[in-house]
Amino acid sequence: MTAAAQAAGTPHAPGVWADVVGQDAAVAQFRRAASPEGSLAQAWLITGPPGSGRSTAARAFAATLQCEQGTGCGQCPACRTTLAGTHPDVTVVATDKLSIAKEEVRSLVMTAQRAPATGRHRVLIVEDADRMTAGTFNVLLKSIEEPPPSTVWMLCAPSAEDLAPTIRSRCRLVTLTVPDSDVVAELLRRRDGIEDQLALRAARAAQGHIGLALRYATQEGALGARVESARTLLALRTAGGAVLAAQALVERATAEAKEHADQVALEEKERFLRSAGIDDGRVPPSLRSQMRQLEEDAKRRQTRLVRDVLDRYLLDAHSVLRDVLSRQLATGSELVNVDVTGEIEQAAAHGTGRSTLALLEAVQEARQRIAGNVPPLLAVEALLSRIAVSQR
């Protein structure tokens, strides 16, 4: 075992790579590029399904590039500050709004032109790069084409097709996969101290989505709510029931999104007032436009969060229907939704593989509609009504 592996305590994923699980091929590619013998591209496109760990991999790669030992040891100040988000030469852009604004990318481009202050490289990580618009891609293009010698760009997105062809053709592609549930469960046990059975149950329910698995394992009632949603889905029989279920779901998603968005908006407002030296809450006319911008950002954030919550539900619905199809085709695969095994068996006996496959396609269509700005309630009503009709 190497010294770096011993320091990390995990020989299979030493140092900064300890939390990048189930991605051995990608990690090997990153480490090879960062080594003295490797070829380091100046623009990287890191793709993979939600929850596969794109941003975690990007930060680990950035830490490896900055590492004082050149190995991603995880122990030196450069590694620790990069992973903590405080390294002066590593800039991360993450958004929970509908899109990444041109102004944010212009600021990044200006940062990319500066030489590193203390590290080996100037690293810029754009999480959810697929949220950039066509106009924003144009702002980024020249900096991607001709970056300064020490600048490295890392763009994260679900797939290469989510970015403009002019951007992805100039990046080195690394594709992550969905990690196995057992691997995710082990991460929850090792990193977060989750009890064995709960870690495995949460990982299976999350279907390899690391962040969602952690939410299921740590947020009280999250797994129970998922089970209840599965039972509701499999009990739908009438269009009226589908409409009521859709309304309840969208209302719940809106409430959850509003709670989070309001908290973030309050924190941003407090930071703004502090930075402006305002302690009585009275915003002078010269700063009111900036305050209005914060309010607009909060609205966009809530809209995006509603979509994210609904997409999480639709992915859960997809897993339930996939379990039904598995039983209908007698694949022998282990169920994801073991808590509703009886209901799944009943649905499998009632329907056919062909009809269930059509419902799985309908779930994907609903996800695409919501992502394409169709009113969420209409998209969810249409899907649940179709499921209800098929289960009569």
- What is the per-residue DSSP string for 220-276? TTHHHHHHHHHHHHHH--SHHHHHHHHHHHHHHHHHHHHHHHHHHHHHHHHHHHHHT
Backbone torsions φ then ψ of 32, nearest 5 degrees: -65, -40
How far does CA 355 lie from the centroid of its chain?
A: 31
pLDDT for the residue numbered 262:
78
Tokens coding 101: 């604004």
Q: Where are the domains of the chain?
A: 24-175, 181-218, 239-391
Tokens coding 239: 């269009």
Contact 58, 154 (CB under 8 A): yes
Residue 193 CB: number of other CB atoms within 10 A? 10
Residue 292 CB: number of other CB atoms within 10 A? 11
User: Residue 46: in which H helix or E strand, if any?
Assistant: strand 43-47
pLDDT for the residue numbered 38:
86
Which CATH number is associated with domain 24-175? 3.40.50.300
Contact 83, 59 (CB under 8 A): yes
* Residue 100 DSSP class: B
* Residue 132 DSSP class: B
pLDDT for the residue numbered 7:
35
376-390 and 353-371 are packed helices; what angle lies between their axes, rounded to 10 degrees? 180
Which CATH number is associated with domain 239-391? 1.20.272
Which of 311, 321, 312 is CA-nearest to residue 387?
321
pLDDT along the chain (392 residues), means of 10: 35 76 94 91 93 93 94 94 95 80 88 93 93 83 89 94 91 94 94 94 90 92 92 94 94 84 75 76 76 72 82 92 96 90 94 95 94 91 95 84
Give dist(CA 1, CA 27) in Å, integer: 17
Q: For residue 151, what are the β-bridge partners? A: 122
pLDDT for the residue numbered 97:
67
Give this prediction's pTM: 0.78
